[in-house]
Each structure stands twice: as C-alpha cells, then as structure tokens.
Amino acid sequence: MRKPVKSTFGFCPCCGKRTLFVAFDHWLRDAYKCVRCRSIPRQRAIMSVLDARCGNWKNLDIHESSPCGSTFDRMKKECANYSYSYFYPDKKLGEVIGEGGKVTNQNLQELTFPDNSFDLFITQDVFEHLNEPEKALKEIFRCLKPGGMHVFTVPIYPFLETRPRIKIEDGRVVPIMEEQYHGNPISEKGSLVTYDWGGDIARVMDSVAGFKTEVIEFQDSRENHRMGLEADFLQVVVSTKP
Ligand SMILES: [Zn+2]
C-alpha cells in the first residue's frame, strides 16, 4: 500500500465530522483529503469562513457558480435556498438545466438574475478562468443584496500585480503568455488560466465593483491543522457589498 505523505486526525468543516485527513501527494492543495467526504483544503477553508462569518448560512439565499465536490454536496443538502449554475456557451442564458429550476445556464459576465437576489455568492477557483473578470465582478455585485458577500477562492500570487494572460481580439481569446490549464469537471481539455491574481486583489475587487474586500489567511496554528487547513494558495476572499 502507498504511504501517505501527510495524515492528521481532526474535524472536517465540510462534513462536520471527526475525521482523518490524508495526502498521497505533496501538492496538498489538491491532495489533502478528508477520508469521509473527500473535501480538499480550499473547500474546508470556504466552509470554515461561512461558519465563522455567517453561522446562519443554511437560511440564506445562496448562489454558487460552477460548484463541485464536498461543499456542493453539503450546500445542496442543507441550504433550502441554494441555487447554482454552470456555463454552456451553446445553451440559452438563464435556461433551466436541471433540478426544479435551481440549476441554470449562466455566464458570470452576464447573469440573468434580478438585482439584489442573493445574500451569498460563492465561486471556487473560477476567477482565474474568466475572460473579462471585471464584468463578472460588476454582475455579482449587482445580484447581491446590500450587505451580501461574494465569498471565493482563487490562487493569489502575493508578489505579483494582477495581470491578464490573454487578450480578446475580434471576440476571440488570444493568449499573451504561456498557456496554462486547470482541471474542469465539465470539459476534458480543462480551463485556460486567463488571469493571475496578485497581492493587489482586494484593491482590484473594490475599485472595479465597489466591494469592501478582505483576504482571509489561514495561519500555521494547531486549530487550523486540526481542520485540515494546510496548503499553498489557501486564502478565502470575502467581498462585501456595502
Ligand atoms: Zn469531511
């Protein structure tokens, strides 16, 4: 049997149970899983932030763009007003694509929801794949209620300034840097990385859309180790609509 590179007993914020976290690879961000719900660190980070910042999340109007994994399983089960969307470019925007009207086809840059629809908008590792993230930020801002929050993860490079890796030419995406792809549950090719987000991320969020943004880091502490919150690029960004 393969030997894990890391294992810790603890408590999983995703499944809410005592558990064992195990990684069989050194890239903990993708490999360090809860043996019960298969959550990875960024999913546990999002759930721990929701529990800490809005303990009543189960009663809130929540929308998530392109959900998957352990947080998705939990939200679907426990939050009555949880809706979600994926983007299929060949389908009509706003079209219902399953489960009683809760799943729709949405382009984050052109949402079909009315203003002030949601208390929480969640995106997990989506913003590094958008062609025009400024449009998406303005749309999420518009669809949030006042006081609502966009809670999200994205890889942040603290020593970089946020920069595009593509440009749009005649409506087409043209890479201006070496192409990088991340895994995508609905595409075999994966998703092209279109933006690198830098240490200025909060300033960008706030100046583009009017949010008040905070980047939450997970310190090297016993409490965080116990929740399996150890990995590179482990930050949760909370952008609040004033
Ligand atoms: Zn778990």
- Summarised one tens digit per residue, pLDDT across range 176-189 is 999 999 877 667 77
Q: For the chain, what are the domain ranges?
A: 57-240
The percentage of residues in the chain with a pLDDT greater than 90, rounded to a whole number, is: 90
**57-240: CATH number:** 3.40.50.150
Q: How far is the CA of 104 from the centre of ligand 1 (A)?
A: 27
What pLDDT shows up at residue 6?
Answer: 95
d(CA 42, ligand 1 centre) in Å: 12
Under a CB-based contact definition with an 8 Å cutoff, are residues 86 and 105 in contact?
yes
CA angle (234, 237, 242) in 5-degree steps: 170
pLDDT tens for 1-13 read 789 999 999 999 9
- Give the separation between CA 101 and CA 164, rounded to whole angstroms: 35
Q: Nearest CA to 121 among 73, 61, 63?
A: 63
User: pLDDT: is 20 or 188 the higher one?
Assistant: 20
- The whole-number pLDDT of residue 41 equals 97
pTM for this predicted structure = 0.94
Q: Measure the CA–CA gap between 207 and 221, rounded to whole angstroms.
A: 33
Taking residues 63-69, report their average pLDDT: 94
- For residue 21, the CA-to-ligand 1 centroid distance in Å is 8
Assess contact for 61 and 54: CB atoms under 8 A.
no
Ligand 1 centroid from CA 229, angstroms: 12
CA 154 – ligand 1 centroid, Å? 21
pLDDT of residue 101: 74
- 97 Cα: distance to centroid of ligand 1 (angstroms): 28
